Structure 1
Amino acid sequence: MAQVHASPDANVYYVPHSSRWPFLGSIALFVTMLGVASWLNEVSWGKPVFFFGIALTIGVLAAWFTDVVRESVGGSYNKQVDTSFRMGMVWFIFSEVMFFAAFFGALFYARQFALPWLGGEGDGVATNNLLWDGFASAWPSNGPGAVGGQFQTIPAWGLPLLNTLILLASGVTVTIAHHALKAGHRKQLLVFLGLTVALGCLFLFYQGEEYIHAYKELNLTLGSGIYGSTFFMLTGFHGLHVTLGTIMLAVIWFRCAKGHFTKENHFAFEAVAWYWHFVDVVWLGLFLFVYVL
């Protein structure tokens, strides 16, 4: 193994110690996916395995990032490493863009192609007459088989609009916190970064309220045909990203309180801010294409 402990101004590239965390992280993710797949297929041991995998993943990430923070605070990273981190974060966010693009693509395909075809448009005339005679292609829909029974949709101008305003406000507060960090205003930084964390928690609270209302009163579930599946896959994965973003913002708040960042060296803060703005933009797309249109 090669280790080069370089000062921030050195021209040599820092190579960390051999790490067990990528290997353990792969195992944790495998256990998590095995658990959720088994749970969805109603296997008895699927649910506990899923939660064990989640706990294992959280533990691995906490230990892994603890090592990274220790190396950063210890002065092991230089400008070259900073550039690598920035490139890595850009590619990570790009992968997240592609992740959500797949679900938005599924929503677009179902609405613009699959449902009209089942309703008899274009090449679907024979399918409509022979299999689903009388089916009218309208959105929202649980398909010609009425999968999951009748349901009601969530009005866009209630909790979804409120959550939109909350996320937009959180984008403003994290930007103000970033400028405060660059200006050296520590108190302002902690206040506005704390507000961002609080707004993230508030968003998740209202999304939970929305889900409870959908399941208990509207009969809108993950099993409500194509509408229910796309609705909960898109909003649910976005909620997961908000949860992760809120946790990362809280960690950054504690690091700011400990004085880990300077005006010139604070990429960890910037990376989380990039991620949070990405989450905001995705929600705007969700609000428009899932709730409004």
Structure 2
Amino acid sequence: MSSTAHGTTPYYFVPQPSRHPVMASIGLFFVILGAGQWINGQDWGMYSLMFGMVWWLTVLFQWFSQAIQESESGQYGYKVDLSYRWSMTWFIFSEVMFFGAFFSALWWARMHSLPALGSLENALIWPDFKAVWPTLAAGATASPAGIVEPFQAMTPFWLPTVNTALLLTSGVTLTIAHHALQLGERSKTIKFMWMTVLLGVIFLFVQGYEYAHAWSDMNLKLSSGVYGSTFYMLTGFHGFHVFVGMLMLLFVTLRLQKGHFTAEKHFGFEGAAWYWHFVDVVWLGLYILVYWL
């Protein structure tokens, strides 16, 4: 047993039986069912998807609220804190593998599939095909079977570069907020956290504008061959992760305003910060491999 500001904290915390896991699973069932049916042309799938999302998010809100209440009431000790740290570590590791798969797909397409299509053997079948990645040669976007419409490849200027600056700046403001929290400067922490959240929101708006420009003005779509599919998969999933990370930071900021977290105990803050810095690192790799090379 150990003593804290909230009273006596148990070495191990054994939660009561909870309905939240099965309720969340029910919501996800309707999400997957609806998405599958909607994609296959069933209009009712959209309503199932929306119902499942509302159900699932409601359960998550109740679940997280209960966890926050347990933490603030002093029921979480060292072992629970350690379990959260390991859980977040493995979660981020799984995200590394997730993005690693898409980066590997991009590498394989450029370094193996494209040269194979441009080999002497295939040149007899598609004599006009250019085995050049679209970012390396203007106009090299023709497909062997002629099924891909001409499109323009993305460049790093200027929207991707602006977004890079936004994310790097958000990493700095988040680090300043973390150090301020460790020093007990709550007002400074809250101010820099709001700056970080705002930078994340601006990033998403800039990426949305970039997508609209690419789709309408550059004719770059998901159907634009392997270049278009890998571009939207990598940048789209990263944008989703920015959105999730921004929500994490937003809720942490709101909790800070309610007086949650202390200089000694604030893993909820640290976990969100870990995730945000991971998102920053992924973007740097994406910025170089997708926009520059």
Pairwise same-fold verdict (TM > 0.5): yes
For the Cα contact (< 8 Å) 1:7–1:78, is it kept in 2? no
Distance 2:234 2:176 in 1: 29
Pair 1:180–1:151, CA change in 2 (3 A): same
Distance 2:171 2:269 in 1: 14
Distance 1:126 1:41 in 2: 38
Pair 1:34–1:223, CA change in 2 (3 A): farther
Q: Report the counterpart of residue 217 of structure 2 in structure 1.
A: 217
Please show how residues 79-90 of structure 1 align to structure 2 within 5 Å.
79-90=78-89
- Two-structure CA RMSD over aligned residues (Å): 2.0
Distance 2:214 2:45 in 1: 25
Deviations 1:42-94 (A, max 9, x none): 44344443333333332222221111111111111000110000000000000
Indicate yes or no: 2:137 matched with 1:138.
no
Instruction: Name the TM-score, length of structure 1 as normaliser.
Output: 0.90
Superposition deviation, residue 279 in structure 1: 0.4
**Which blocks of at least 5 consecutive residues in structure 2 are unaligned?**
135-140
Distance 1:280 1:189 in 2: 20
**Farther-moved stretch of structure 1 (8-17 vs 148-157):** 8-17
Percent of aligned positions that are identical:
50
Pair 1:243–1:256, CA change in 2 (3 A): same
For the Cα contact (< 8 Å) 1:31–1:53, is it kept in 2? yes
Distance 1:65 1:73 in 2: 12
For the Cα contact (< 8 Å) 1:200–1:243, is it kept in 2? yes
Q: Report the counterpart of residue 228 of structure 2 in structure 1.
A: 228
Instruction: Name the TM-score, length of structure 2 as normaliser.
Output: 0.90
Q: Report the counterpart of residue 178 of structure 2 in structure 1.
A: 178
Pair 1:181–1:87, CA change in 2 (3 A): same
**Farther-moved stretch of structure 1 (38-47 vs 254-263):** 38-47
Kindly provide the amino acid, as one letter, of the partner of residue 218 in structure 2: L
Deviations 1:169-222 (A, max 9, x none): 000000000000000111110100000000000000101111111111111111
Distance 2:147 2:42 in 1: 22
Pair 1:292–1:105, CA change in 2 (3 A): same
Indicate yes or no: 2:121 matched with 1:126.
yes
Indicate yes or no: 2:23 matched with 1:50.
no
Pair 1:116–1:171, CA change in 2 (3 A): same
Kindly provide the amino acid, as one letter, of the partner of residue 211 in structure 1: Y
Distance 2:218 2:30 in 1: 34
For the Cα contact (< 8 Å) 1:147–1:223, is it kept in 2? no
Structure 1 segments, 4+ long, off by >6 Å, are: none
Distance 2:269 2:142 in 1: 43
**Farther-moved stretch of structure 1 (24-33 vs 108-117):** 24-33
Please show how residues 43-82 of structure 1 align to structure 2 within 5 Å.
43-82=42-81
Superposition deviation, residue 275 in structure 1: 0.2
Pair 1:180–1:210, CA change in 2 (3 A): same
Pair 1:227–1:207, CA change in 2 (3 A): same
| Matched residue SS, 2:170 | helix
Superposition deviation, residue 228 in structure 1: 1.0
Kindly provide the amino acid, as one letter, of the partner of residue 13 in structure 1: Y
Pair 1:52–1:73, CA change in 2 (3 A): same
> When the two structures are aligned, how many residues end up with a matched partner?
284
Distance 1:271 1:146 in 2: 48
Distance 2:50 2:123 in 1: 43
**Which blocks of at least 5 consecutive residues in structure 1 are unaligned?**
none
Superposition deviation, residue 6 in structure 1: 8.7
Kindly provide the amino acid, as one letter, of the partner of residue 139 in structure 1: W
